[in-house]
Structure 1
Amino acid sequence: MDIVHEADKRGWISKSSNVKRFVEEWNYKLNRNALFEHGSVLTENMFSEIDSTFSLEVCPEVAEYEYSRFLEIPEDVELVTLIVQKIELNKRNSSVKYDKQVYQHFRNYNFPPHQMVGAENVEDIPFEPVDEPEVALTVQIYRPEKKATPYDRKFLSRLPCFKIESNFMVLGNQHLCELRDKIECLSDKVIPFELSDFPDMEISTTCKDLYKSGFFYIEGVVYNDMRDPDCRDYSEPVIQWSKTGTDVMEMQKGSMENTKFKDLKLRLGYPYLYNHQGNCEHLLVFSDMRLLSDEDVKNKNAYPMLVTARHNKRIFCMVCKIFDARWVVFNNPRLPETPFMFCKKCYVGFNYDSNKQKIGQFKAYRFIDPPAVMNA
């Protein structure tokens, strides 16, 4: 895959790292006995010298000011971070359009980690202490790339458009399948039945219940989820394809439920893959790797932790334009276009008579609104 991605030319992609070795090396560096091999200790004078050297008096701007869009930074500051911040704030204040773009871009990523753990709060989760030293990995899950239409492929030089769906923080001692269980995707929530003849039928079966297979591809290894007897081994055709002499390295097989994150060799910033529902593909990127600090949540059961999630736009009924869409209708000659979105009330009122008999011929499916997936 290096030939395809040209990782050596991407400055944001790190070299391959062994997660377990990373923890051991940094734990050794931070250990008091490792720092002072001869048994020496810091004297009071040494503490005073370190305290004076790294005091905020060296950079009074940091102590006096805090980050804010209304921050007034003096002209004579020498700290590069404040100089860059001043340029950015001046640009926002001078352009209303740019200020709105920045707000729109960042408003979906300002949730403190302790306020968002799936649909629960950290305080509501049973406490189990984290075994330290522990490594924390930040994982970015991207939306599936939108397929190009025939028009796009013929007339437009369209580049792929990848957007981050959610960011998770996972621990090194957790299994890969624990992250998979936390990932929410619209294709898992879909009800795969045509229901135009049964508008009132309540169905709880989703695609995730029927098609449980999935895998992660990380550094040449396909990690299958085989926890359920109905799961299929997705790796076989992929591994056979990798042996056909393409530019892709020959792949190996692994188990998602038997592999921990600390057992991985990975590169930060490198695009890996999460595949489920047969052909629903998400880019998966490890963006950060560090030791767990005192500021992090120390409840093991709170991880994998949903740190941030992109807010999706609501899709409204195309009739009343008030309520959320709950049905999508195809090939109805009485409608101006197909597909057509309906809320529950408008769907029944337009497509059925007083006896709940279907008017005309059409196909209808339950529609899952993206915000409903994130709030489920």
Structure 2
Amino acid sequence: RMLPNTEHPLVSFGQLLEGEVPSRREELIYRNYMPPPVSPKSCTEKFSIDSVLLRVALYKGERRQAEYEVYGEQTLLDLRRSLSCATTKILKWQADELKRQQVENTVRRPSESALFYIEDVVYLCGEEDLAKPLLEWLSRRSTACPPTRDMADTSFEDLQLQLGKQYIFMHNGDCEHTLIFTRCWLTEHTADRRRSLYPRLVWQAKDGAAKCHVCDKLAATWEVHGDKLADTSPCFLCEQCRYQWHYARVSEGGHALRSDYQVYPVIT
């Protein structure tokens, strides 16, 4: 039976050896899957020709992940619903997999709760108040706390923004990103003003699949943490190298050789 290792921040789906050594056939294999693009629903409703258009870039650390276009009448909540990252995919997959295996679910699911910090104002959505730890910390330091507002009640026309300045977007507890507004212009007569198209994804980074650290040829399908025999942690392995390294030959029973590490599927 496959059990999660709850000592790690993420749930490991490696085998926990108890009594009989498990076979590799019981190991979970998750293959990368890229969903097809979804076309926006046809809609004839258009926003005003006098609206302002903005381009905003989403960063994780120093890496630019995506760029979106929004129009002035849209709210911050509209933008928040379009923003996503690998953390959301991983949390959803782990929670669904634990439910499928009927294992007690200790992993949080992706939440709609999020936070924007723009020009000394905190904008919130969802049931979880992500600003509470920050406000409590500022209060203990006798520092003035920034005001909080609802994303759904704040449009981009209500904001005073600076192009090129870094703002904060936080979701899924403490997954933090940087937002930078890069362009601002008036709507042109030739622009497609259908509301259903916005926020519009206009650029997205291509996530090249990580190569296996052993063969350096095939795409990695497993991420291994805490393996004492690996050169690095995490160590990325393709399916073939993973089983050659961690399992005995099929003729010898195909059992797991060790259990002193955590392993996670590579999800893209």
In structure 1, C-alpha distance between the alignment counterparts of 2:108 and 2:53, rounded to whole Å: 28
Q: Of the candidates 145, 148, 158, which is equivalent to residue 253 of structure 1?
A: 148
In structure 2, C-alpha distance between the alignment counterparts of 1:285 and 1:333, rounded to whole Å: 41
Q: Of the candidates 189, 198, 204, which is equivalent to residue 303 of structure 1?
A: 198
- Number of the residue aligned with 1:172: 72
Q: Which amino acid aligns with 1:178?
A: D
Change (3 A) 1:233 1:169: same
Q: Of the candidates 135, 142, 166, which is equivalent to residue 239 of structure 1?
A: 135
Query: Which gives a bigger RCO, structure 1 or 2 (Cα 8 Å, sep 6+)?
Result: 2
- Number of the residue aligned with 2:53: 136
Task: Find out whether 1:363 has 2:258 as its counterpart.
Answer: no
Q: Which amino acid aligns with 1:296?
A: A
**What does 1:114-263 align with in structure 2 at a 5 Å threshold?**
119-121=37-39, 125-132=41-48, 133-143=50-60, 145=61, 162-191=62-91, 209-226=109-126, 231-243=127-139, 244-246=141-143, 250-263=145-158
In structure 2, C-alpha distance between the alignment counterparts of 1:263 and 1:139, rounded to whole Å: 16
Q: Which amino acid aligns with 1:182?
A: S
Q: Which amino acid aligns with 1:166?
A: A
What percent of counterpart residues are identical?
26
Q: CA deviation at 1:168?
A: 0.8
Q: CA deviation at 1:301?
A: 0.8
CA offsets, 1:294-329, max 9 Å, x none? 232222111111112233333112233333212111
In structure 2, C-alpha distance between the alignment counterparts of 1:211 and 1:300, rounded to whole Å: 25
Q: TM-score, normalised by structure 1?
A: 0.51
Q: Which amino acid aligns with 2:43?
A: F
Q: Aligned pair count? A: 221
- Number of the residue aligned with 1:51: none
Q: Of the candidates 333, 339, 356, which is equivalent to residue 234 of structure 2?
A: 339
In structure 2, C-alpha distance between the alignment counterparts of 1:327 and 1:221, rounded to whole Å: 41
Q: CA deviation at 1:349?
A: 4.4
Change (3 A) 1:265 1:330: same
Ranges in structure 1 where 5+ consecutive residues have no aligned partner: 1-117, 146-161
Q: CA deviation at 1:210?
A: 4.0
In structure 1, C-alpha distance between the alignment counterparts of 2:82 and 2:93, rounded to whole Å: 25
In structure 2, C-alpha distance between the alignment counterparts of 1:268 and 1:232, rounded to whole Å: 30
In structure 1, C-alpha distance between the alignment counterparts of 2:86 and 2:215, rounded to whole Å: 24
- Number of the residue aligned with 1:330: 225
Secondary structure in 1 aligned to 2:163?
Answer: coil
Q: Is the 8 A contact 1:220 1:250 kept in 2?
A: no
Secondary structure in 1 aligned to 2:212?
Answer: coil
Structure with more strand by fraction: 2
Secondary structure in 1 aligned to 2:157?
Answer: helix
RMSD over aligned Cα atoms? 3.3
Change (3 A) 1:129 1:242: same
Ranges in structure 2 where 5+ consecutive residues have no aligned partner: 1-35
Change (3 A) 1:336 1:219: closer
